[in-house]
Amino acid sequence: MSDWVSPEEELRESWQQYQFALQAMEDEDWLVARHHLDLALKKLVEENYDPVYSIQARPQDSLYRRDMPHKLIAALDEVYPQILAMGEDASVYVRYEFDDAGLENLDEPPLDSAEREEIESFLDTLNRAEFTLPIEFNERVMQEIQYMSTRAHDFTEASLSRKTAFEEMIYAKIDSMGMPRDLIFLSLVESGYKIKAYSRAKAAGLWQFIPSTGKRYGLYQDFWMDMRRNPELSTVAAMRYLKRLHDEFGDWLMAMAAYNCGEGCVRRRIRELKEDTLWDSTKTITYWDLNLPKETMHYVPRILAAMTIGHYPEHYGMDVEKREPVAFDTVTVVEFMPLDQVAKAAGVDTKTIQELNLELNRWCTPPKESGYVMRIPEGTRDSFLVAYEKMDKKSWSRWQYHKVMSGENLGKISRKYGVSVKDIQSANHLKNTRIRCGQTLMIPLPSSAYNSNSSKNSTQTNSSQSSKKSSVRTYKVKSGDNLGSIARKFGVSVSQLQKWNGVDGSAIRAGQVLYVEKPVEKPVEKPVEKPVEKPVEKAIAKPVEKKSEGNFIKHTVQSGESLWDISRTYGVTIEQIVEWNKKKSTKVKAGEVLRIQPNR
């Protein structure tokens, strides 16, 4: 609550949009912030003509009208320079489509008798066995049918058209898990089948996963990519989540309700109903018996309404335009490959590559030692591979991101990474050297910094320390560091750090010095190989002993580690770690021992 805005004013939509914008600014998601600030300005103007605020001349209304425009302009003054700094590459950042039509207008008027009679007369002719979700044509469902076929007609029609491009893939995933096919309509309400759909709750993708739930089901999100926007992976994650919810609640409608408001909320409402002395304890609790949050009370009926209209689009005046699935080939490319180079090799424009790989956040492939699987237009694979083979991949820069700390300037940062100030300015479209604390910068690291060939043939001298200093970068472990955080800091993989430093598992200690790039191979190391054979054999045998029960190993949680870090280290999901260790939450504490079955 603000110290200058009354509780009544906080209900204004302009104020709520302003709060969403402030949160986006804190997250440095500048285009999201601009979207909400633009909406806040629009709503502020509309409110000036709204009788609710204009008829009564309340002091708080006058104060709000006087001060709010200044706050919005001040916020826009901070946001727009950041967007302009993106320059010509701003289009790369447009990863979202803001559309809340699926769950807006929750205060629809009740049906009048004529509307009810028209809807009922058609529903009475339907065979409910045609639907794979349990359907009940009650007042709430009919009201949503009326809304989606009239006021939201255009949204519903466009969504059903987009559905045709995804239904083959989605039905295949649903069928493989033996789940109801009509669950596909949950995505209509969530996103309208838009891959780039983004909500003010930070939910993204076809199935609108919020960040935490997405990570829990293997949809990784970081600086480089957001797998919530991968249609195939997010569909599998959504089905897994819904299946788990159905396993818990034993009812698909309650599973969908939990998908919207969270399983904790549904559990709570079920418990409250059971404790109600007026409730008939012999009766089985269903979704229709629960008093859930307002949005969820509309959410499930709206899915059932979408399902009904989706089965009979012609009756509801929907002109569904058939769209073919986007056909594509896949290729594995090296890490940090610029997307314009991918496009060049495929013989298409960069936008085509971006649209086929919407999960990518940046203009190059993410850091991944094994390479990254890219989608390219169907029929271009052979020509791509020929062009790719001829490319000088060593000429591409490697990238990592740096969050500006208090007291840092471009000169200090450039010296830290061994690049020029001009390079950093160019990479981040900075018109001058001004930066602020908390700002994220992209740092271009020359490929030569990671090329060990230049040092391979260097002559052996007594000044090996100075040679190592100039050719190999190291990092001194700080308290709270773990392999995952260090890997992300330097744009490498955990497996690379383990290999370069001979680390078995994930245990590191504060003060330890680690190689953060491939160390120089020294000829003098060869004579030393034989005496250390036995210790090496022991080190190799050690993990085999740990993997005694079904290839599980024991991992001791380090200070600052989370399940997310640990899951990335071993190539598994958070959900798997929770299941293996019978945990009731995703919280871990330093010193806790976890059973893990590595996937890499």
Over the stretch 542-558, which tens digit does the pLDDT of each residue have?
A: 333 333 355 788 888 88
Average pLDDT over residues 22-50: 80
Average pLDDT over residues 474-483: 82
Q: What per-residue confidence (pLDDT) applies to 89?
A: 47
User: In Å, how far from its chain's centre is CA 9?
Assistant: 33
Six-digit token string for 313: 């689009």
Give 285-334 pLDDT, tens digit per residue: 999 999 999 999 999 999 999 999 999 999 999 999 999 998 999 999 88
Asked if 217 and 338 sit in the same domain, the reply is no
**Residues 290, 340 within the same domain:** no
Does residue 518 form part of some domain? Answer: no
Whether residue 280 is contained in a domain is answered as yes
What percent of the chain shows pLDDT beyond 90? 38
Asked if residue 591 is part of any domain, the answer here is: yes
Count of positions (residues) in the chain: 600
User: What is the reported pLDDT for 466?
Assistant: 40
CATH number, domain with residue 225? 1.10.530.10
Split at pLDDT 50, 70, 90, the class of 67 is confident
> In the block, which residue shows the tokens 């740990």?
546
- Taking residues 216-234, report their average pLDDT: 90
Q: Is the dihedral of CA 376, 324, 192, 254 positive or negative?
A: negative
323 burial level (CB within 10 Å; 0-12, 13-18, 19+): middle
Are residue 134 and residue 275 in the same domain, yes or no? yes
Phi-psi sector, 71: left (phi>0), alpha (psi -120 to 50), beta: alpha
Q: What percent of the chain has pLDDT over 70?
A: 79
Q: In the predicted model, what is the mean pLDDT of residues 210-219?
A: 93
pLDDT value of residue 536? 40
- In this structure, the answer to whether residues 385 and 403 fall within a common structural domain is no
**Average model confidence (pLDDT) for the chain?**
80
Look at 566 and 167; give whichever has higher pLDDT.
Answer: 167
Residue 577, domain CATH: 3.10.350.10
pLDDT in tens, 349-378: 998 999 999 999 878 888 776 788 999 999
Q: Which of 371, 366, 305 is nearest to 338 (CA)?
A: 366
Does residue 87 register a pLDDT over 80?
Answer: no
Q: Is the pLDDT of residue 562 over 60?
A: yes
Token output for 371: 């390479």
Residues 131 and 251 in one domain: yes
Domain shared by 162 and 303, yes or no:
yes
Strands 474-476 and 440-445: unpaired
Instruction: Examine the domain organization and report whether 66 and 137 are in the same domain.
Output: no
> Is there a single domain that holds both residue 391 and residue 404?
no
At 584 the pLDDT is 72
Last residue of a domain, one of 253, 283, 316: 316
Position 534 scores a pLDDT of: 42
491, pLDDT greater than 90: no
Please name which of 361, 351, 89 lies closest in space to residue 229, comparing C-alpha atoms.
361
Greater pLDDT, 264 or 368: 264
- Kindly state the DSSP code that residue 491 receives in the 8-state scheme: T
- Does 42 map to a domain? yes
Whether residue 48 is contained in a domain is answered as: yes
List Cβ<8 Å contacts ≥24 apart for 479-483: 479/510, 479/559, 479/560, 480/559, 480/560, 481/508, 481/510, 481/560, 482/506, 482/508, 482/558, 482/560, 482/561, 482/565, 482/569, 483/508, 483/565, 483/569
> Sign (positive/negative) of CA torsion 463, 467, 472, 476?
positive
What's the pLDDT score for residue 293? 93
Residue 99: the pLDDT is: 52
Q: Is residue 108 part of a domain?
A: no
**Helix, strand or coil, per DSSP, at residue 210:** coil
154 and 266 both lie in a single domain: yes
Instruction: State the greatest distance between any 2 C-alpha atoms of the chain, in Å, as a whole number.
Output: 95
378 and 300, same domain (yes or no): no
Say if residue 110 is exposed, middle or buried (CB neighbours under 10 Å; 0-12, 13-18, 19+): exposed
- Say whether 437 sits in a helix, a strand or coil: coil
Please tell me the predicted confidence (pLDDT) of residue 474: 82
Quick check: 211 pLDDT over 70?
Answer: yes
Task: Count how many domains the chain has.
Answer: 5
Inside any domain, residue 498: no
> What is the domain extent for residue 584?
553-596
Instruction: Please indicate whether residue 40 or residue 453 has the higher confidence score (pLDDT).
Output: 40
Rounded mean pLDDT of 453-457?
Answer: 35
Together in a domain, 440 and 562: no
Q: What is the pLDDT of residue 52?
A: 63
Structure tokens at 23: 């949160």
CA-closest candidate to residue 501, choices 480, 487, 485: 487
Same domain, 308 and 277: yes
Q: Is 405 helix (H, G, I), strand (E, B) or coil?
A: coil
The verdict on residue 86 lying in a domain is yes
Domain boundary among 352, 378, 396: 396
For residue 279, the model assigns a pLDDT of 92
